[in-house]
């Protein structure tokens, strides 16, 4: 039986259809694509829940904040407690952070400019629902496209994040090093994505759905598939 997953469409989401198409066409999954006001009523019984990228509420006031207050996010918090994989991509990550389902903040890029480019993500842990079929140290080529993607956390929080093995990906250069040049937005410690303590809630700024097919990758790669295969593996393992 293919995975039965939910993609929540917030008011202003733009990368929702891409995520739906990638999961249907590449993974063959059964994907329900639901408007946020209807999603709050049907959110139980999914194998995984996705918060897609885009500009929910135009990113007005602060990316993700207005969406974080929607009733459906209350339900997402409850479902997440049960250990169901909850995945946030880009704007989805911002919503998870503003909903306090993941620690930290995503603030404006250091360059003060929106940035769209392909980055190298190094897998830091295989505990998370989105990396458990990978090996630590694997490098995935995944693109970013954001203006507020700079991950920030204070010293205390950062120490905990590292000690608890919650950093999932870091930006690295072609040699696999976390250099300043490899960091597209000034994120602290080149952090690109993190998970919660249990590992089921994962947020990242880059877009794996844009990297799951060779033809749309300038490097002819499809590392995004590893993200989705991991989620399936995590779910089935439970």
Look at the alpha carbons of 28, 34, 38, 43 in this order and tell me if their dihedral is positive or negative: positive
d(CA 111, CA 22): 30
215 near another protein, rule: CB under 8 A: yes
Among 18, 47, 124, 148, binds another protein (CB under 8 A): 18
Measured CA to CA in angstroms, residue 228 lies from 29, 129, 151, 214, 225 at distances of: 10, 9, 23, 15, 5
List phi, psi (to 5°) of 117: -160, 165
Interaction residues for another protein, span 172-211 (CB under 8 A): 181, 207, 209-210
3-state secondary structure 87-131: EEECHHHHHHHHCCCCCCEEECCCCCCCEEEEEEEEECCCCCCCC
Structure tokens at 21: 């198409």
Closest CB to another protein among 55 and 234? 55
For 28-61, letters b (16+ CB in 10 Å) and e give: ebebebbebeebbeebeebbbbbbbbbbbbebee
Q: Three-state SS for 169?
A: strand
Interaction residues for another protein, span 121-160 (CB under 8 A): 143, 145, 147
Q: Using CB under 8 A, which of the segments 43-51, 53-61, 77-85, 127-135 binds another protein?
A: 53-61
Task: Give yes or no for a contact between 8 and 49, defined as CB atoms under 8 angstroms apart.
Answer: yes
Closest CB to another protein among 111 and 160? 111
Closest CB to another protein among 98 and 232? 98
Catalytic residue flag (residue 209) = yes
Closest CB to another protein among 13 and 196? 13
Catalytic residue flag (residue 148) = no
Smallest separation (angstroms) from another protein to the CB of 38: 9
- CA 41 to chain CA centroid, Å, is 23
**Total interface residues for another protein by CB under 8 A:** 38
220 near another protein, rule: CB under 8 A: no
Smallest separation (angstroms) from another protein to the CB of 216: 6
Smallest separation (angstroms) from another protein to the CB of 34: 12
47 near another protein, rule: CB under 8 A: no
Smallest separation (angstroms) from another protein to the CB of 162: 27
Catalytic residue flag (residue 90) = yes
Residues at the site binding another protein, with contacts judged by CB under 8 A? 11-12, 14-15, 17-18, 21-22, 25, 35, 37, 54-55, 57-61, 65-66, 69, 111, 113-117, 143, 145, 147, 181, 207, 209-210, 213, 215-216, 218
**Which residues are part of the catalytic machinery?**
90, 207, 209
């Amino acid at each position: 039986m293919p995975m039965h997953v939910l993609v929540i469409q917030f008011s202003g989401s733009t990368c929702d259809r891409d995520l739906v198409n990638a999961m249907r066409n590449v993974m063959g999954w059964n994907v329900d694509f639901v408007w946020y006001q209807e999603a709050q009523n049907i959110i139980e019984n999914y194998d995984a829940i996705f918060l897609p990228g885009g500009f929910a509420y135009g990113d007005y006031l602060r990316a993700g904040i207005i969406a974080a207050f929607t009733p459906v996010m209350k339900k997402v918090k409850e479902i997440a407690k049960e250990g169901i994989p909850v995945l946030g991509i880009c704007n989805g990550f911002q919503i998870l952070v503003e909903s306090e389902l993941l620690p930290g903040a995503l603030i404006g890029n250091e360059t003060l400019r929106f940035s769209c480019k392909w980055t190298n993500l190094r897998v830091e842990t295989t505990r998370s629902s989105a990396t458990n079929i990978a090996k630590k140290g694997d490098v995935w080529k995944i693109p970013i496209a954001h203006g507020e993607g700079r991950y920030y956390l204070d010293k205390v929080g950062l120490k905990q994040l590292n000690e608890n093995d919650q950093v999932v990906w870091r930006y690295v250069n072609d040699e696999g090093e976390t250099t300043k040049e490899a960091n597209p937005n000034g994120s602290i410690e080149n952090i690109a994505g993190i998970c919660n303590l249990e590992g089921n809630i994962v947020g990242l700024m880059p877009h794996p759905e844009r990297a799951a097919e060779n033809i749309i990758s300038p490097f002819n790669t499809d590392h995004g598939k590893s993200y989705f295969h991991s989620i399936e593996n995590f779910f089935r393992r439970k």
